[in-house]
């Protein structure tokens, strides 16, 4: 129905920047909330950020607010995550998620579709 493919992960030093992309294909909708989540080794998957279809409603976790920026280009069916001032604790597999809806909640977790993830490693 909907496929999500992340890209842009890699190795970066602390303080550096990285941009992740999530391309959606298959069935598309103008009412999809999309977001980013991450999972570090030995930890549960956690919410990072989410954005409404229009881009007017955006949520961030406290740990990334002010450093990460989510955006989307609906013409390209792509969502981006610009990560600045990266810290070693940001190291994780980053997953793109999506669900049908209008207003993302402060801590989105119930996504319907998931990508396979892209690894981000931040060295100190």
Tell me how far apart the alpha carbons of residues 3 and 42 are, in angstroms, rounded to a whole number.
26
Q: Show pLDDT as tens, one digit a residue, over the chain (124 residues).
A: 889 999 999 999 999 999 999 999 987 667 889 999 999 999 999 999 999 999 999 999 999 999 999 999 988 989 999 999 999 999 999 999 999 988 998 888 889 999 999 999 999 9
- Taking Cα atoms as reference points, which of 25, 21, 23 lies closest to residue 2? 25
Residue with tokens 């998957």: 45
Dihedral (C-alpha) 41, 48, 114, 88: value to the nearest 10 degrees? -30
Kindly state the tokens that stand for 27: 């069935």
Give SS3 for 89.
helix
Tell me how far apart the alpha carbons of residues 5 and 15 are, in angstroms, rounded to a whole number.
26
């Amino acid at each position: 129905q909907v496929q999500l493919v992340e890209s842009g992960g890699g190795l970066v030093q602390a303080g550096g920047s990285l941009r992740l992309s999530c391309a959606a294909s298959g069935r598309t909708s103008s009412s999809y909330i999309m977001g980013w989540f991450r999972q570090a080794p030995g930890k549960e998957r956690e919410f990072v950020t989410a954005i409404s279809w229009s881009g007017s409603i955006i949520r961030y976790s406290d740990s990334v607010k002010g450093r990460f920026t989510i955006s989307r280009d609906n013409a390209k069916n792509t969502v981006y995550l610009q990560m600045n001032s990266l810290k070693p604790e940001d190291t994780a597999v980053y997953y793109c998620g999506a669900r049908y809806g209008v207003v993302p909640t402060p801590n989105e977790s119930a996504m319907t579709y998931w990508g396979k993830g892209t690894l981000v490693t931040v060295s100190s």
